[in-house]
Amino acid sequence: GEPEGGIGVCGWILTGFSWLLVMCTFPLSLCVCIKVVQEYERAVIFRLGRLLTGGAKGPGIFFVLPCIESYTKVDLRTVSFDVPPQEILTKDSVTVSVDAVVYYRVNNATISIANVEDANGSTRLLAQTTLRNVLGTKNLAEILSDREGISQYMQSSLDEATDPWGIKVERVEVKDVRLPVQLQRAMAAEAEAAREARAKVIAAQGENNASRALKEAADTISESPTALQLRYLQTLNTISAEKNSTIIFPLPIDLLR
């Protein structure tokens, strides 16, 4: 604010009358002049339309001269608000609906009152436009997979833009990305087709490996006729362990000869 000498002669005269009024009505004037702000609040005082030196007052008790001074309370607590869902056209020409949540607080009470008419409302509007501008440069895959990076970029952009307003943007989170119903069905069909293709490839690889193993086993058995007989006997022993009343076992004609 400007020094008190800048109020001029008329300002000094009005200040003198204000002090005279306080002394003439003492102690009743204390009920009007003494104000209290909470621990999380600050009071920005104007005297004859000029900011007082020393910055915002509080927390605790402060003194306001009647008639010539006015003050505005500023809440310093962190505020969270939901950014309404925004219809956004992505870089790859897909329309999505995205909403987010923003956490911010007043960092400088004096600037938030003197430099902008409505710091809270301005921050909310800027968050909506920043969300649209940032996501408009991303394709759908990046929006779905890189939410953390998008949130950090939005936080830094908002914090830089609101710094002249005395606002500190602490955190931005992308809450939900809603896709059109037709696009959801198309993506589901694409994912199902991809899974079926992978399943067929895996089954074909299994058949290939099994055929190679069977070929190697057949080559090993063919080298010794006795090994084939032993294999038949092992198979018969396995079947008989099931406690079946009737056992049908194929016997090669070559074995009978």
> What confidence tens digit (pLDDT) does each residue in 36-76 have?
888 888 898 888 878 887 778 878 888 888 888 888 889 89
For the question of whether the overall pTM of this predicted structure is more than 0.85, the answer is no
Closest CA to 153 of 168, 133, 167: 133
Task: Give pLDDT, residue 103.
Answer: 93
Task: Give pLDDT, residue 104.
Answer: 92
Could you tell me where the DSSP H helices lie in the chain?
Answer: 8-24, 30-33, 109-114, 119-135, 140-145, 147-162, 181-222, 225-240, 253-256
Task: Give pLDDT, residue 102.
Answer: 92
Using 50 as the pLDDT threshold, list the residues of the chain that sit under it: 1-5
CATH architecture of 78-183: 2-Layer Sandwich (3.30)
Task: Give pLDDT, residue 4.
Answer: 44
Give the start-to-end residue ranges of the domains of the chain: 16-75, 78-183
* Long-range contacts of 26-32, Cβ-Cβ distance < 8 Å, separation of 24 or more: 29/66, 32/64, 32/66
3-class SS of residue 89? strand
